[in-house]
Amino acid sequence: MNLKSQIEGARADAAGMERLYKHALAAGNEAAFKEVIGRCAGEHPENVLFSAWAYRLDVLTPPPVVGPEDQTVNQSQTRRWWTAVATSVVVGVLYALFARDKLPIPIPGEADPLFWIGWGPLTALGILFYLAMVDRSERRIYRYASLAVIPIAVYTAVTVWSRTDDIANLSALHLPFVAWAAIGAALILGHPDPARQCYAYLVKSVETVLVGGIYFAAGAIFLGLTVGIFAVLGINLPQNVLQTMAAWGIGAIPVLALASVYDPMAAPVAQDWTTGLTRILRILTQLILPLALGVLVVYVFWFVPAYFWRPFQEREVLIVYNATILAILVLLTIVVSGPVEERSPRHDKILRYAVQALVGLTLFLNVYALAAIASRTFNFGLTPNRYAVLGWNIVTLLMLAVVGFRQWRGRSEPWVYIFRESIARVSVLAIAWALWVLSGLPLSFD
């Protein structure tokens, strides 16, 4: 009998539930116990014992206490969506103002500096405002995260406002990543088990990006149909009007995407992981996993020996390698998400070996890419791009090494929870390097 069946069997037995919890603590399975309690509380909201344990373990956030009689009220879905729509409209208007008469794309030289610098921090501030308005638990961390985003954006504007070189391009890539990290800090800090909360935020971030992509595609289709209808009528919309409409739509999408997949009243680990795009994403990554293993096998055992010096000589090949490493890190994060109880022991064992093989092959590819960028730096000199890529190769190497080592060391323990915790903890390295590139790089190559 698995843990979920045991907990469901103790739904009316408070003493039995306490025994299961103590047994989980002794076996080092507290994380699994919390996850199952969260699932049971969501599947059986009428069960008081499940809800009490969920609140006790901080899996669920208690609703706010309001009114003179201390009655609790649930957050209205209508109010939540009105807040999301209003916030997205305002952010969209600001996007349109920031774009001015240039293309609304985050590329220095192509877009107005106010847009390519401001779009990431503005999105983060819009999301933090939405979360603060909907979450009535008086968590002041949203304010602190906002105060962190603003000075970072101002500093970036001061250092790269008039630049269109490689440093400006690197700032345009890293500033949204830092803004994303500020949102994560606001959602994670203040909850127990920061590593578990961080991992849940990573997964929800990927889901939000995919939902945003769906919204963006729908908006592009609508804009194209609008242009076509007016063209049939003999009316050609001016280019600046189309750019303004596009900028507004791009600005409005992120808050709406987040509101579609994330419940602000629940902690990241207490989100719904069994339905919707989260489940589809998990199934998709498990289907992609063997294909990714096949690609890496071809890379490592055929392409690398046959064309060993190409990444040392050709920048484009090295870019492909580094993009592959980052994509696999995202794949590794998603593929182990979701309830563990859904997998049979045989499936879980196969998945574990596949993940370990993927980590090992990617680690080898990372060492190879690091050697190539180090050689290029030694032969051709240190440039901003080589500086940033060299640091990222070291960071991803450390991330993969830590994840692989912890899996090998804890092979007798529940591997999924160790893997998730490892991914969450090493992600701090990526955030630290992004902050350094954003703040130190303009001064180092000024």
pLDDT band at 267 (very low <50, low <70, confident <90, very high): confident
Q: Which of 350, 366, 352 is nearest to 420 (CA)?
A: 352
pLDDT at 135 over 80: no
pLDDT at 275 over 80: no
In this prediction, residues 231-255 reach a mean pLDDT of 87
| Mean pLDDT score of the chain | 85
pLDDT at 277 over 90: no
What crossing angle do the helices spanning 415-444 and 384-409 adopt, rounded to 10°?
Answer: 160
The whole-angstrom separation of Cα 28 and Cα 21 is 10
In this prediction, residues 295-306 reach a mean pLDDT of 89
In this prediction, residues 402-408 reach a mean pLDDT of 87
Q: What is the pLDDT of residue 396?
A: 95
pLDDT at 67 over 70: no
Instruction: State phi, psi for 44 to the nearest 5 degrees.
Output: -130, 70
In this prediction, residues 386-409 reach a mean pLDDT of 92
pLDDT at 368 over 80: yes
In this prediction, residues 316-341 reach a mean pLDDT of 87
Q: Which of 442, 317, 327 is nearest to 372 (CA)?
A: 317
DSSP state of 340: G
pLDDT band at 341 (very low <50, low <70, confident <90, very high): low
Q: What is the pLDDT of residue 74?
A: 47
> Which range among 174-178, 226-230, 440-444 has the greatest average pLDDT?
174-178
Contact 166, 384 (CB under 8 A): yes
In this prediction, residues 252-276 reach a mean pLDDT of 84
Stretch among 174-188, 332-346, 427-441 having the lowest mean pLDDT: 332-346
> Which range among 334-343, 359-368, 399-408 has the greatest average pLDDT?
359-368
- Residue 438, both tokens: 């954003």
Q: What is the pLDDT of residue 75?
A: 46
- Residue 105, both tokens: 């794309």
The whole-angstrom separation of Cα 288 and Cα 284 is 6
Q: What is the pLDDT of residue 66?
A: 47
pLDDT band at 343 (very low <50, low <70, confident <90, very high): low
Q: What is the pLDDT of residue 48?
A: 80
Q: What is the pLDDT of residue 181?
A: 93
In this prediction, residues 370-375 reach a mean pLDDT of 94
pLDDT at 99 over 50: yes
Q: CB 67: neighbour CB atoms within 10 A?
A: 8
> Which range among 23-32, 259-268, 418-427 has the greatest average pLDDT?
418-427
Q: Which of 407, 366, 391, 399 is nearest to 441 (CA)?
A: 391
pLDDT at 410 over 90: no
Q: What is the pLDDT of residue 8?
A: 76
